[in-house]
Every structure is written in structure tokens, then in C-alpha cells.
Amino acid sequence: MNIKREDQQYFGSVLFFKHLILATICLIIFSLLTVAIVLNKKNNQLSSKLTQLTGDGQISGSATENIKLDYQKKFPKLYVERKAKTKSVPEKTIFLTFDDGPSRNTMHILDILSYYDLKATFFVVYNDSEDSKHIYQEIVKRGHTIAIHTASHKYTDIYQSVDSFLEDFNKIFTKIEELTGVKPDILRLPGGSINPYNVNIHQELLAELLRRGFTFHDWNVSGNDTGNSATSYSIYQAVVNNASKNDRSVVLLHDLSDKDITVDALENIIVDLQDMGYSFEKLDGSIKPFTFAY
């Protein structure tokens, strides 16, 4: 009975309210401490991510190593020196680019370019034949730019993931370096830097290629030489009509064994554009890339 009476006296007493206030203060302090600890932990995680990003992913050490993406750790030799894009390109410059070689037609194209003393850019694919090995070397020997267009050119394989693209890319990069002594530092993605096959990975893929020092080029004039209805005249018209509207053009043509029409169109393209005051140059890693707007 006494105890009950004491309880009744405690609840509502001054002592009870003192204890209640003390308990509330302890609870508030405990909550604030918990929030502080959680925020501090999050802050540390963000700081370490930031260190990795600003360090271009190349900082070593256990803290940053753990959050490096898996594909960034692969192919340690697949790096080129990143060049500042400071080379000025005079007005009325045309960059002829030939995709998909080596082919039966590459030597014809090289001979025409030699005759007019012009330099161009070849975005090549992988081919292990003896003729092709010679062609890779001949492109370099004649002073043109050898650039990469992937090894297999198979959209469904290369654009499956960043990993699969890098694996394919590494195969041709290694081959070209081994055969020519040149580390190609520019590339053209099959279908262009963004296309229906790579929409899901293109941002991540392009970021990874840039991180490794590579520059990718699209085009602003196409000879449309792969269409079924293309003729040497249609290619000539597409290139000359469109390039003559621009101060600077990157012209897409193809170096394919069944595209004699491209070779047939080439001399007229060169002669007529030269008559209009245009000159021809090759691409390199210090030229600001021509990319699609997206």
C-alpha cells in the first residue's frame, strides 16, 4: 500500500518532471550524436569518390582501388598520351577519312593520295592476312594517320558492354602497334559515337575512352557510298556539294573491297575541291574532334 502511495506521489511530482527533462535531454543528445556519426561516414565516402574522379581514376591505394570500376583495371597497356586539342585547322580544310579497310582497294586509294600528295585518315578493322599486314604498314609509311574502327565491327558484340568494346578495341590496338610501331590515339566508333546499338552504354564508353587518352571522331559530310543505289557520281556529288558548304569537313568514305565506285569518285572529288581552294589534311590527336551534336 505504501509503495503504491509513493508511486502515486512520484508521478506528477517535481522530481518526476526533473527526471523527465533529464531523459529528454539525453535522448536529444543521443539522436544528434547518431546523426553526426552517419553524416561523417557519408562525407568520408563522398570524399574518397571525389578523390578518385579528380585523380582520373589512376590514383593507387586501397581506399580508391576498391571503388575503381572493373573495366578501368583491365588492359593496362591500352592508354595513349592525351594531347591538348590546340592544333588550329585553317579554313577550307578537308579531312578525307576511309573506314573499314584494309581491303582490295586500299592500295588504289593510297596511290591516288600519293599522286596528289595528300594525307588522309584510315579507320581500320582487324585483318590477319599477309596483304593486310602490309597495308597497315603502308598507310603509316606513306605518312597517313592510322586510326581504329574496332577489330570486329560487329555492332551486337562490341556494344554489349564497355568491357566487350574494350576487349575488341585492345585486340586491334595491340595489332597495329605490333605491326607499325604506332599507337593509334584516335578512333571512330562503328555507326558513329552514338547509334541505335550503343545508346545504353555510349556515355560510359566514351568517358572510358577519353580517360584512356583516346579521341573519337564522327563526320559532317558523308559520301553515302555504302547505299545500294550509290554510284561514283552520287558519291562525288554528295561529297563536293556538301563539303563546299563548310569551312572544315570530315568526309566519311569507305575502303571496302566491293566499293570500286568510291575509288572511281576520289580523283574528281580531290581535283574539284582543290580548284575551289580547299586543302586536304589528316586527323590527329591534337585536332579538336568532330563529333555529332547530342
Q: How far is the CB of 101 from Zn ion (least distance, A)?
A: 10
Q: Which residue's CB is nearer to Zn ion, number 101 or number 285?
A: 101
102: number of Cβ within 10 Å: 24
Q: Which long-range contacts (CB under 8 A, 24 or more apart) does 203-211 make?
A: 204/162, 205/162, 205/165, 208/71, 208/72, 208/162, 208/166, 210/82, 211/56, 211/57, 211/72
Q: Which residue's CB is nearer to Zn ion, number 98 or number 278?
A: 98
Place of cell 506528477: 12
Q: Which residue's CB is nearer to Zn ion, number 82 or number 153?
A: 153
Contact of 235 with 265, CB cutoff 8 Å: yes
Separation of CA 150 from chain center: 12
Q: Which residue's CB is nearer to Zn ion, number 99 or number 281?
A: 99
Q: Which residue's CB is nearer to Zn ion, number 219 or number 280?
A: 219
Q: Which residue's CB is nearer to Zn ion, number 79 or number 155?
A: 155
Q: How far is the CB of 221 from Zn ion (least distance, A)?
A: 16
Q: How far is the CB of 37 from Zn ion (least distance, A)?
A: 55
Q: What is the radius of gyration, based on Cα positions, of the chain?
A: 31
Q: Which residue's CB is nearer to Zn ion, number 99 or number 167?
A: 99
Q: How far is the CB of 193 from Zn ion (least distance, A)?
A: 13
Q: How far is the CB of 149 from Zn ion (least distance, A)?
A: 6
Tell me the Ramachandran region of residue 75: left when phi exceeds 0, alpha when psi lies from -120 to 50, beta otherwise: left
Contact of 136 with 177, CB cutoff 8 Å: no
Residues that bind Zn ion (CB under 5 A): 99-100, 190
Q: How far is the CB of 252 from Zn ion (least distance, A)?
A: 9
Q: How far is the CB of 216 from Zn ion (least distance, A)?
A: 13
CA–CA distance, 251 with 221 (Å, rounded to integer): 5
Closest CB to Zn ion: residue number = 99
Give kind and range of the element (H or E) at residue 172: helix 162-180
Residue 187, Cβ density class (10 Å: 0-12 exposed, 13-18 middle, ≥19 buried): buried
Contact of 242 with 89, CB cutoff 8 Å: no
